[in-house]
Chain A
Amino acid sequence: MKLPPITNGFEIVYKKPDTLTDTPMHYCPGCGHGVVHRVLMEVVDEMKIQDKTIGVAPVGCSVFAYNYMNVDMQEAAHGRATAVATGIKRVLPDRFVFTYQGDGDLAAIGTGETVHTVNRGENILIVFINNGVYGMTGGQMAPTTLLGMKTTTSPYGREAASAGFPLKITNLITQLPGALYVTRQAVHEPNAVRRLKKAVRLAFEYQLLKKGTCFIEVVSNCPSGWKMTPQESNKWMEENMFPMYPLGDLKVPSQTMN
């Protein structure tokens, strides 16, 4: 993107990170994916680790993540991103490896891979975008869908009797000894984005410790899947998603090292 010249005492305080490509993102208007992509790449840019970072793209809305992030990327089979990342990290232990997965990928088809990767304590960063639906295929019910939430496959709202309860996979993973840093963040407001950036930065730095897996859940919106405008979806998320998925750190390294 060509920027206008800086004039009469102005300086750039914020611009798109160089590690993000100029390809326009295919995400729906207001989708949280773009913010998380940008935050990840900002941290890579700040730490100057562009040539040492390897990302693993999932299947889902963010399947084209490799088009937007200007780092080495690998596409994985549905749900198997953490398994692929394990292989990459073991072959190239000096690289920063992260996976970027949605809730249908990580919490449904990839539950086994995720739980075992964290249990083995692989030194990777798992970024988990939780928006409660399968966004790419048209808003079907996911394991993380809230009770009573209407989706295309649960038109009367999710019922616990037939579809079970929402899966809090982040809380599940916190129990595992291999998890080093587990946190839940959001991207609905500027301060939440700032907190997410701090968490991502910490998680990348913790990879150098080689003490375990870092796991960042980002509670996000899905305006198209939820059939709302971006503003409504953010408000709905604050009112309904956050009581179920409260934000904050679930596990920090000081607890695990003692």
Chain B
Amino acid sequence: MIRGKVVIAQDICKGCELCITSCPQESLGLSDKINIKGYRFVELVKDNCTGCVNCALVCPDAAITVYRQRKEVFKANQNMKKAV
């Protein structure tokens, strides 16, 4: 599976949890800490993000940046695994 990762601007996040419900991999969750505004912010809790962008699309505060593995890197990794 293509790997992705999300970077969440913790001070902008208001903890509305819309991204948590929209994540098909259930890899987002609320933090136990609070941010500068007093909201519990969202963070990556599981390392199974695929970079599908769903969370960033529903984020009302544009707090989420999504990274995804390049296809050629992904394929190279697959081939390496096969060779091993």
Q: Tally of A-B residue pairs with Cβ under 8 A?
A: 97
Judge if B54 is at the interface, Cβ distance under 8 Å: yes
Q: Enumerate chain A residues within 8 angstroms of B74, measured Cβ to Cβ.
A: 9
B21 pairs with A16, CB closer than 8 A: no
Q: Enumerate chain B residues within 8 angstroms of A193, measured Cβ to Cβ.
A: 57-58
Interchain residue pairs with CB less than 8 A apart (30): A8-B73, A9-B72, A9-B73, A9-B74, A10-B4, A10-B69, A11-B70, A12-B65, A12-B66, A13-B4, A13-B67, A14-B53, A14-B66, A15-B66, A17-B62, A20-B62, A27-B60, A29-B16, A29-B60, A30-B18, A35-B57, A38-B60, A187-B58, A189-B22, A190-B54, A193-B57, A194-B57, A223-B16, A230-B17, A234-B18
* Complexed CA–CA distance, A31 and B14 (Å): 10
B68 pairs with A30, CB closer than 8 A: no
Residues of B at the A interface (CB closer than 8 Å) are 4-5, 7, 9, 11-12, 14-18, 21-22, 37, 39, 51, 53-54, 56-62, 64-70, 72-74
Interface residues on A, range: 35 or more
Question: Which A residue's beta carbon lies closest to that of B20?
Answer: A231
A16-B15 in contact given A10-B70, A194-B57 (Cβ < 8 Å): no
Within the complex, what minimum Cβ distance (angstroms) separates A90 from chain B?
33
The 5 closest A-B CB pairs, nearest first, are A34-B60, A9-B73, A30-B16, A29-B14, A29-B16
